[in-house]
Every structure is written in structure tokens, then in C-alpha cells.
Structure 1
Amino acid sequence: MNFDKVIMVDWSGGNDRGPKPVKDAIWAAIGSGGQAGEPVYLRNRQVAEAWLIDTLTDFRARGERVLVGFDLCFAYPKGFAAKLIGREDTLALWDWFEAKVEDSPTKNNRFDLAGEINAKFPGVGPFWFNGLPRDISHLPRKGTQRAGHGLPEKRAADLAIKGSFSPWQLAGAGAVGGQVIMGLPMLARLRKRFTDALSVWPFEAPDTQIVLAETYFSLLPDLVQDEPHQIKDAAQVSLYARVFSALSGKATADLMAVQATSEGWVLGAGETEVLRKALDKLPPRLKNDCFAMPQGAYWTPVDEALAHLEAHLHPVTGTQSVSIADASGLILAEDVMAARSHPPAPNAAVDGYAFAGPAPEGLNELPLVQGRSAAGVPYEGTVPDGHAIRILTGANVPDGVDTVVLQEDTTVDEDTLRFYGPLKKGANARNAGEDMTIGQPILAAGRKLTPGDIGMIAAAGVGQVTVRRPLRVGVLSTGDELVPPGASARDAQIFDANGPMLAALAAEWGHDVIPLGRAPDDRDALREMLNDATRSCDAILTSGGASAGAEDHVSALLSDTGSFALWRIAMKPGRPLVLGMWNETPVFGLPGNPVAAMVCALVFSAPALRVMAGGGWRKPEGYLLPAEFSKSKKEGRTEYLRARIQNGCVEVFPSEGSGRVSGLSWATGLVALSAPAQTIAPGDPVRYIPFADFGR
């Protein structure tokens, strides 16, 4: 039972909390594949409900399955609904509350409604804690004042969770009663809006596109403190969005294999070990200061910058088990072991005749036994000593024989085989396990699977492998001057070349690309676009705005996060490189010039993204070839020249100007010239790196 997205919501029964994020408010977080976007602060229930509707409408339009978990009791203890509406129908009870609850950002009628409900029950209660200065008929201020109402204090699900609270308490420390009264009308409206696309677990089968479920944000109390959010409510929604989105389809189905009662159930109640194991499988987050370069030289050498990335980055993607038919191009998360030896038994490498070797020099004559050994249809008996048997390529070598003579080197007269020796023992026969043995590690974690790997895995009897979920890379272009390719453009405008180019690169490297469009030179608009991007991306590539000018908004925004790093790389082209964390998502701010953007992406983003995807650090080596050009290079910067191979030699693009975008299409790779001063003459060896070598 797989979900593409998980939304976790911490509801509230209080009034509007104002524009500044605070505790005891409504918070939500969206998780996918074990990662969670920045928690969303929702100042009141009206804002929260609108956000939920917009978010679910968007996911529904994209065809994504969504699990929405609420830290909110979906039902009351048994007997409550029957007394109030005449039947134990939880979803009908929701509709009853929707009709009765009055709500606005600054006031609601939950206390008065609780008093009205209490009046329908014998004795005093069950609701308690009048949070208003005025007295309310039938609503006691203390729980000890209740008596004779006839209802249990907690549901079975509440009893299964240590430290859970009763839904009857309306206010005060730990109260959930107010949340329930103010939450059920919202749930009822969600059901009506999304109709058949939505179901409520466990009262309905969770086989719809949107599934609502009750959860409890204190199932993992010791882990909340590890979340990088100062407000506990924000930390909780982030943690649970990560945990529940990390569950496998089977684990989720097992958690939902609960028989419905009118009291409902809490998703994950009694199953904390399952949740912890899901969390344990997630990779650690990147540190907020992972891009902070040690103080030193103003111009950072390329090798130093690469070494810093290698030392500070690690995988950020979760894992999944896939069929080998779907595994090519994915990165192994666990070593692959041979499920059986290959070959599993001795077999013939050629068509011919098998006998017990060796065969002496001269004419050899052996009687043939009846039958043969063919691939998939082995000879079941034992070949007598001094006899031979017909055998076909790939067939198991029968007991009693160990050597095969080629059919072309033999003659058969009636039941006698004749051939000339000598032929050594074991000729033309493969030993069992000579390629792979059962239990042997055949591929290591971190390897990007090739078609050849798939063939080897299949031959070893392995049908499923554990791989990394593909890295989701967002691509965002910035600048007022940009227009989409193919649109009409004024002379002052340019077509966005970076967006399509970087998207194509990331896709070629095996990542899932999320086009983020073009951001204007407006800081607030860019901030909102980055916020949206972090909900669905593991990393973001931006182009433009990556220096220190007034319109360099990427740099300006990242500088406020505490994770900002402006790397002035000693390289040509593409000196400024901005890096930082936005809502825990790494941002690579590439130069706006397309040539510089592509070179920086190849040199820095390709290996960095590979590590984050789980593939390990890999620096492209290229190979030495004779130059077919002349160049005098000054000391100080590593230079990358657009190049291609002609007749075994390397030629470079006629212009080194980074404005000549056509050179990117003309070239098939780069010539890398190290920092020292050097003079290149035709015939001198230079290091040529094919474009394809950067992303392997």
C-alpha cells in the first residue's frame, strides 16, 4: 500500500495565533520517500483548511496518492455516538458536529456545545474543563466533578498508547477535547469535497487516492528532540511526515490491517518498533554548515572545493526494493549476494561429447551411451567408466565424465566415438561456481546499475535488489530578462537556455528532474518558489543571481539562512558558486552564463549529486590525448576548454568566450588545464574528459 505523499497535521482548538509562528498552533508537513519539507505554520483553522484543500487538490490533479495523518481523535469512546445521534456511526457523527459547530478565527462555540452535549447524558459529564470566565450549564470546570455519565474515559486505541489523553478534556495541559470538536467539522467537509476520491481509515477501505487517518504525535517522544525545529509542534509534524513516508507499502498495509470499530484506531499504535525501523533506514540529514569553506585563500582552488564537497556530503535518499527489470540506472543501497552459484553445476562450453579425461595422444575410441545431456534437460544417470555421451552447449556435465571434445573434431560410427588426442582433463567444460559462488558479494552498495550488471544479477538468481530512491533535483532559472524558448522576446530579453540544459544534464545523470520554472528578480517571489520546491526536491540547481550584486537574490536569500557559502572558485569559466541550505534542502547556485553554468554543473554538481543519490564520490579522470591546438595559460586558475576528438587528437572550440553557447553543442567534452602556468603546443598530451564521464 504505497503513498506518494504523506501530510501530517497538528490541529488546534484555539483562536487565531497571529502571523508569527508559535507553539500550540496548527502545523503541517509534507513527506515523501522519508524526507519532509519545511513545516508549514497555519495561523488558524480557516487558513489550515484552505491549505489542505489546495494541497490535496494539487496532489489529486497530479495523480499522487496521499495519506493525511491528523493528531486528532477521529472518534469517541463507544456509546457516545449512539446516545447523541441514535447509532454508532462515526462518520455520521462528523456531519452532526459540522452542523453544530460555529467557528471563526477569533471565537468558537466549543465550550457551549460541550455543555449542550453533556445535558443529553445522565449525571455530570462526560466533557469537562470550561475554559471561559463565565459559567456554562452542564459543563464542569474539573474532571473530578463528573459522575454517572456512563461513558468510558478512553478508547481502546488510547489505552494502547502510553501517556495518551482523554477526548473529554476540553482545555488545559495535554487537552485534546477542544481539538476534536473543532476538527471533526473540517474532516466532514474534506469528505464532502473529495467524495469518492477520499476514504477514512479504518472506517472505510484505504484504497482511494486520498486516505485520512488518525495518528498520535507522541508515539516516538524521544526522537522529536533530534528534529532541527525549535518549536515542538513543527518538529513533530516533520518527524512523523518523514517516518510514515519512509514505510514500505507492505509495512503501511500491515499497520492498516485493523478491523474497524466505532472507536476507530490510531495509525501506528502499538507498532513503534515498525516506525523506528523505518526511521533507522533513512539517511542522515546534511548539516546546515556543510558548505562552509574553511577560512583561507580568497580564490578557492578547484581540487580544494571538490575535496570539501566529498568530505561533507552524504546520501540523502531513502531505499526501496525493486525488481531487476526496473533497476537499470538506479543506485544500489545494499550489496548484492549471489543467490546461487554460476554456473550451478559443471556444464559444457561447446557442442560435443563428454568423457572422463584426459585423452592421450593419437586416436581415441569410446563407446557411446544412449541418450544425451542438453541445456535444461540433463542426463540423469552416471556415465560408465570408459564411455562417452552426447552433450550440448550449456548442458550439465553428467556424473562420471569431466571433459568435452568438440563435435567438429569427432566422428561417430554407429555407437562408437572417435577423435584424436591429446586433450587435457576438463577441456571445454566449465566448473560449478567458476564465475560466482552462492553467497558471494557480486556488486557493492553505491554502484549505479548497468544493463551488464542486470544480466549478472539475473544469472546469479537474484530477482529483487535494494536501491536508492532516485534523487529529486529541482531546476530553477532566475532573472527578469528570461523568457521561455519558443516564446516571443524583445531585444532586451533572452531565452532561458540554462533551465532546459541543466534539466537535461540532471536527467542524464539518472536523477528525477523537477522543473521549477523561472523566478523573477523579486526576493519574495523567489522565497516562495524555493519554499514550494523544498517540499518535493532533495536538491535544487539554480542559475543566475549567484554573485553579490543588488539583483543576486539567490545569494541574498541564502545568506539569511546561516548556511550560506559564496565560493569564488579559481577556475575559468564560472568563478562564483553559491551554496547553502534552504529548509534543509541543498541549493547549488550556478552562474547565469550558460557556458559557466554547464561547466560548474559538470565539475561540482555532478559528483555532489551523485553522493547525495547514494552513489559515492567519483571524480572523472578522462584520458591523455595529443593536442591539436596551441595555448599559453597563466598561473592561478584551472581552465576548462570546450573540446572534441578529431583523428585521435583533441581540438578546442575556436573561442574561449563564455558567451558562445554554440560551443557547448560543438564540443563532446572538456580539456582540463591545471592551475600552474603552462604552454600547450600541438602534439602535447592534454587531459580530455568526455561530458558523459562526469555523470557516470
Structure 2
Amino acid sequence: MSHFDTVAVIDWSGGSDTGPRPRKDAIWMGVTRDGLDKAPIYIRNRMEAEAVIAGLMEQELEAGRRLFVGYDFPFGFPVGFAEGLTGRAGPFAVWDWLEERIEDSPRANNRFDVAAAINARFPGIGPFWFNGLKRDIPGLPRKDSRAGHGLPERRVAEQRTPGAFTCWQLGGAGAVGGQILTGLPVLNRLRRRLAPHVAVWPFEPLETPVAFVEIWPGLINKVVKQAEAAGGIRDAHQVRLLARAVAGLHPDDRDAMLTIEAPEEGWIMGLDHEDKLNRAAGETLKPPPLRDDCFALPAGVDWTPVDEALDLLRSRLQPVVGTTRRVLGEARGRVLAEAVVAKRANPPQANTAVDGYGFAHASLGEGDQVLPLVEGRSAAGKPFPGDVPEGSAVRVLTGAALPQGVDTVILQEDVRVGDGEIAFRGGLKARANTRKAGEDVAEGDTILTPGRVLTPADMALCAAVGIAEVVTYEPLTVAVISTGDELVEPGGEAGEGQIFDANRPMLTGLVEEFGYRALDLGRVPDSRDALRAALDRGAAEADVILTSGGASSGDEDHVSALLNEAGAMAEWRIALKPGRPLALGVWGGTPVFGLPGNPVAAMVCTLVFARPAMALMAGQGWVAPQGFDVPAGFSKSKKPGRREYLRARMRDGHAEVFKSEGSGRISGLSWAEGLVELPDGAAEIGPGDTVRYIPFGSFR
């Protein structure tokens, strides 16, 4: 009954949207999957929470994992409430009743008015109290002046739980009532959405892939306080530790906690078993296993797969640049913003593909042919002025419009010319050596679609069909920042422990190769104030920001720290080699790619992540690089867990890789002409085995 692959714990809130920055009194979710803790997830409002929980449920179902979802508010009310409100004693009657009446949005909800409507169904004053609005609501007292409503003050579970609050209080410290009224409608929708895969404890048998369970972080308060003393947000600690506790329980202990009879009021899982929960949640300090891997994350932290990070970028980004109308001659390399439609057919009329003689094929007889020549000729730009009589021929030159009466042309090399006549062998097919009007492009055809980068060939096509102007996106502006006290400008004086800044020249060069404007914001020391100022300037003057260095989690890794402080960090710790630290975030509304400080890793991360993302923001759409399956000219034993990119080039039909995989070997970037991409899983590669080779040109 109690085996769960994934445990999620939700700290609910009945309040308004709390904004983009992680903070207390919001909604938090802790997840432990297969014994490993995830970083707590900050959720700013209930609408977002419903979507996040639904997504988790669908993800776990699809993966075949059993899911426990714990919520920190009561699933039921004290005995007698359900029947008094709905006429039925079952808790789900209350869930349905509330879902029909609660109106909720990120900024406001009607829970106080609904509570007043509930109070009107019971005698006396109450049971709900605390009107948190400025306007008076008849039937809902601001203070606890209740009397005569006839319902118990607490469920049996709360009576046995020190520190638990009554479900009738709607606001102030311990406002459980507001959580219930806003939470149960969400649970009801989620339950119905994935029925029959969801069971609600303790009202239904836990025989489904997803279990909804009432739980309370107060049961592990001792462990939470210890974690809180080290800093951070209490709510985030609570959900992480409680998810760990439930996942880490011995199956017999978990079964004992879930073996409860409470058909109307519900129960708090773990009540009377607090010692077991606290032991399972404990932050016992143990050394991690020795992995001898500089890319290893702290124990219990997962990598984000490359494809997952790419999907995140693709789903969240959109074109950010304006458009302008340009004359054709100034549009090369620009990204089309509107489709180009042919104003004229190409060719505009039927014409000849060769120099020769034209005639009507139907006028030919059997065998060898002798046809009289009419005077004159048809040349490109100087068409024949009249009609060609049937049975006669006319001189035509390449590209000339076919005169009336001509549908077939014979090469001049296949003709003997006499005095006013020509002779040639029979067997020529009708319409030979001619082009039909519009056979290349018809008038009104869409010849180029939005997102295309205009090439010289495109410009020729546009001109051929009468296009003089096109609408294009403005070029993307990309700010480039290098961070670190150790950096000095190339050619300057490098002191002890200092290195020359190789990243900025490389990144600005890549940006310009991609067809964008590079805004060089220089080197920034290891100072959060200085970095904040540089990011502010980048956000004001550029469409996207590339930083290098400071993207990990060390004392001087200020890029990730600032993005986290702003609540703008999207993903990092990508399962990629090279490229361990990669911050993906937003600063002042501008996307930020926090690249590793190592030049090799910085270039690989730029090509793999920043390049397709910038193409999308530039209006080009998501552009995946074109790879080719080729035989390997090397041997390698690859460990599972990360996607790897090896510096490589093609020689003698095989992909050879740089002699060292060390990401400090910058010379390997200059040596290479592309990358060999190795999959996420383990691989044994020998000479001749097929590998995927991506030329650098495929990224541009």
C-alpha cells in the first residue's frame, strides 16, 4: 500500500500572488524522487500551483512512478459540518460545494463571502470568523465572537495535535480556514482531472498510482528549526524535509501511519508517530561517496538533462526585436518578419532554354524534317514581333519569349541551315528545350517565409519576381560580460594568479558570426554591486545578456547569486560536459545566459544553448544544428549521466577528436572544426563506430 517512488509535499497559502521572488507565506513544494531530494520549488500563486501539481502528476503517471502528494491543510471539517452544509455526511460533498462557489485569481478571491454564506446556513454566529476585508460582510465577525453555531471547535485530529489551529479561522496567524476554502476546490479539480488514478486518504483506499494525503509540517518542527538556523526560508525547509521524511520511512511505519479510520473528518498523517517522522527527516551529516568527479553535484541534487533545459528555453522565449521595411539591397543577412509573395511569375512567359529554332510540334511529319525559316528572330528582351505560321520555324535565342505559333525548340547544334530553311532529324519531343510560364514561381506564390535569414540567392529570387522591399526583424543586440578579479585585458600586465580574458573576444566574435550586434560591456570584478550595474546596463541596452564566470555556487559566483536573489533563476546544473555551471535566468526582463568561465565550456554552452535561444529571440525560430552520422576515428569509454561534446574535425572520412578532453585546453577550440556529440547514457566507442558530428558551421 505505502510504496511511493516520488513524494511531493505542498505548503499551501490562501493569500494573494507573492511575486517572482521566492519568499515566505507563498506556496512551496518539496519533492523527493527515488530517495533523492529536489530543490524546493517556489510557486507564487494558486493558479500556478494547480498547473505545477497537475504537470507533476501527469509526468509521474507517464513514467510509471507512484506518487504521494501531501497537503498541509485539512481535507475535512469537524463532524456534522458536511451534512449541515450539503445534506450529506461525505467530505467530497463539501469539496464539490466549495468548487462551485469559490472564485479565485492571483490577486483576490471570495473566500470571506463564501464563509459568510456558509455561516448563514447554521444557527447562531459562526462557525467561520475573521473578516480580512475593509468592507463589512454580514454574518462574518471580524473577531472571535461566535456562539450557538452547534459545531465542534476542532476535529479529533486537531484535538490531539499540540499547536494545531482551528479550521474556522480565516485570517491572521494560523489562518487554516482560508487555506481550506481555497485549497479544496483545487484538489477537487485535480482529483477529477486524473480520475480514476487518484485516491484521497483516508476517505478512499490507496490503490491508485497517485495519493492525496493530509500532512502537517509542524510534526517535524524540531528538525525544521535546525535547518532554519542555517538560513533560508522556513517554508522551503519544511516541504523539503517533510518530503524526505515520508519517502524515508520504513514501509511498516508508513503503513501504520496510513491505517486510519476517519471517514468524515479526515486525519493528519504521522500524528502520534512524530518520532519516526523526525528521524526520517533528520539532516544527519554523512560524507558523500568518493566519486573523483569534478563535475559531481552535492549529494541528493539532480542534473537537468540537456533536452529538458532546451525545452525550457524554447517554451519560454519569443521574438524580442522590432521590425522594419528594407530595400532589397540592404536586407542580406536579416531575418524575414513577413512572408514574401511573388508579384510576377518566373519566368513571366514561356521561353526558350537554348539557342536554336522554334516551331509548332504538331506541324512536323514523319522522319527527317525540312522547315522554311521566317525572317527575324526572338531574343531575350526583344521578342519576335509576329506569329510563326504552322509548318515554319523561327530563330530563337536562350531566354527569349516563345513567339505565337511556337511550342518546341531544337538545339542549333542539331540543325543544318540552308537558304531560307532548316533541316533536322525526326524524333524530337513536344515542348523540348522550352520553359513554361511560371514553372519556377507562379504569381501570388509565397516564395520566402518568416524566420528565414536572407541570402544572396534569396535576393536574386525576390528580384526575379518583382520584389523591391522586404520586412525584416532588427538585429538582436547581445551584451557580453566577463566576470572575475583574475581577468586582465589581453596585452596588459598579468599579475600572479591572473589570466588574460579569452572569453570576451570569443563571445563577441560568435555573436557577430550569428549575425547579431555585440555590445561589449567589458570585464567586471568579483563585486555584486559592479555586476548588478553591468546587468542593469545590459538589460537596458541589449536584448539578451551573455556572462562568463560566476555561474556556479561558490563564494565568488555572483551571477547565479544575483539571479537567485532576484527570483529570476530558471535552471542550472545542466547535465553537460563541458559546461557544469550554466545559469539560465532573467534580469530586468532580459534573458541572461550565465556561461562557465572556462572558454571551452563557455563556447560549447553558447553553441548548444544560447545559439538556438538567440535565433528564436531574433525572429528566426528555434534552430537546431544539423548533425551528421560519421564513422569514429577514436576510442572512448563514456560514463552515463551527462551529454558530452568533444572537440573534433573530419579527416579521411572519419571524425577525430582533440588529444585531450581537458576543458582548459583552449588550443583545442582552434584545432577543431566541429563537435562530436555523445548521448546522455553510457557508451563504448571504437574506431569505425557511428558517432554524430556537428560542424561549427551548423550552429551559424
TM-score, normalised to structure 1, is 0.56
1:417-457 Cα shifts (integer Å, max 9, x gaps): 21112111110000000000011011111111222212211
Among 557, 567, 570, the residue aligned to 1:552: 557
Alpha carbons 1:338, 1:460 under 8 Å: kept: yes
User: Structure 2 counterpart of 1:369, which letter?
Assistant: V
Give yes or no for contact 1:317–1:614 (8 Å, CA) kept in 2. Answer: yes
- The partner residue of 2:314 within 310, 313, 317 is 310
Residue of structure 1 equivalent to 2:465: 460
Against the structure 1 CA distance between its residues 361 and 312, is the aligned structure 2 distance closer, same or farther, given a 3 Å change threshold? farther
Aligned to 1:559, what secondary structure does the other structure show?
Answer: helix
Tell me, in whole angstroms, the C-alpha distance in 2 between the residues paired with 1:691 and 1:486: 28
CA distance in 2, matches of 1:297, 1:549: 16
**What does 1:252-331 correspond to in 2, within 5 Å?**
298-331=302-335
Contact 1:636/1:675 (CA < 8 Å) preserved in 2? yes
Give the one of 588, 611, 621 matched to 2:626: 621
C-alpha contact 1:564 1:579 (8 A) present in aligned 2: yes
Per-residue CA deviation, residues 202-234 of structure 1 (Å, 9 max, x unaligned), is xxxxxxxxxxxxxxxxxxxxxxxxxxxxxxxxx
Distance 1:561 1:615 in 2: 29
- 1:444 correspondence with 2:430: no
Which residue number in structure 1 is paired with residue 566 of structure 2? Answer: 561
C-alpha contact (below 8 Å) 1:474/1:514 kept by paired residues: yes
What secondary structure is seen at the aligned counterpart in 2 of 1:654? coil
Please tell me whether the aligned partners of residues 526 and 558 of structure 2 are also in contact (alpha carbons under 8 angstroms).
yes
Question: Aligned residues, how many?
Answer: 400
Q: Which of residues 524, 531, 535 is equivalent to 2:536? A: 531
Which 10-residue stretch deviates more, 352-361 or 507-516?
A: 352-361
Cα deviations across residues 136-156 of structure 1 (Å, max 9, x unaligned)?
xxxxxxxxxxxxxxxxxxxxx
Matched position secondary structure for 2:565: coil
Q: Distance in 1 between matches of 2:316 and 2:394?
A: 63
* 8 Å contact from structure 2 (residues 309, 571) kept in 1: no
What is the CA-CA distance between 1:566 and the residue it aligns to? 4.1
The residue number in structure 2 matching 1:598 is 603
The code of the aligned residue for 1:318 comes to G
Does structure 2 retain, via aligned residues, the 8 Å contact 1:361–1:420? no
1:570 to 559, 571, 575: 575
Q: Which residue of 2 aligns with 1:351?
A: 355
Aligned 1:118-517 pairs, distance under 5 A: 298-357=302-361, 359-517=364-522
Q: Distance in 2 between the 1:657 and 1:361 partners?
A: 77
Q: Give 1:510 deviation, angstroms.
A: 1.0
Per-residue deviation, residues 646-683 of structure 1 (Å, max 9, x unmatched): 10001000100000000000000000000111100000
Q: Which digits, 9 at most, give the CA deviation of each residue in 1:302-337, with x for residues without a partner?
A: 111111111111111111111221212111101111
What is the CA RMSD across the aligned residues, in angstroms? Answer: 1.3
Indicate how the Cα distance of structure 1 residues 341 and 297 shifts in structure 2: closer, same or farther if over 3 A, else same.
Answer: farther
Separation (CA, whole Å) in 2 of partners of 1:642 and 1:399: 63
Cα distance in 1 for partners of 2:539, 2:317 equals 18
Q: Helix, strand or coil for the counterpart of 1:606?
A: helix
Moved over 2 A (4+): 358-362
Q: Which amino acid aligns with 1:564?
A: M
1:583 partner amino acid: G
> Deviation of residue 514 (structure 1)?
1.1
TM-score, structure 2 as length reference: 0.56
- Contact 2:377–2:383 (CA under 8 A) maintained in structure 1: yes
Provide the C-alpha distance between the structure 2 equivalents of 1:390 and 1:564, rounded to a whole number of angstroms. 73
Q: Which moved more, 1:648-657 or 1:544-553?
A: 544-553
Structure 1: state its 5+ residue gaps: 1-295
Taking a change above 3 Å as real, the CA distance of residues 357 and 590 of structure 1, as seen in their structure-2 partners, is: same
399 and 650 in structure 1: CA distance in 2 versus 1, 3 angstrom threshold: same
CA deviation profile, 1:367-406 (whole Å, cap 9, x unmatched)? 1111111101111211111111111000100111111100
1:36-75 equivalence runs, <5 A: none
8 Å contact from structure 1 (residues 367, 415) kept in 2: yes
Q: Give per-residue Cα distances to partners, 1:343-374, cap 9 Å, x unaligned.
A: 00000100001101154553211111111111
Q: Aligned partner of 1:324: which letter?
A: L
In 2, the alpha carbon distance for the partners of 1:297 and 1:387 equals 86
Q: Which is higher, the Rg of structure 1 or of structure 2?
A: 2
Post-superposition CA distance 1:482-522 (Å, at most 9, x none): 11112221232111111010111111111111111111111
C-alpha separation in 1, matches of 2:366 and 2:599? 72
Q: Is the contact made by 2:339 and 2:450 (CA closer than 8 Å) also made in structure 1?
A: yes
AA partner of residue 387 (structure 2):
T
For 2:497 and 2:366, how far apart are their aligned partners in 1? 88
**1:533, CA displacement in angstroms?**
2.0
Secondary structure class of the residue paired with 2:425: strand
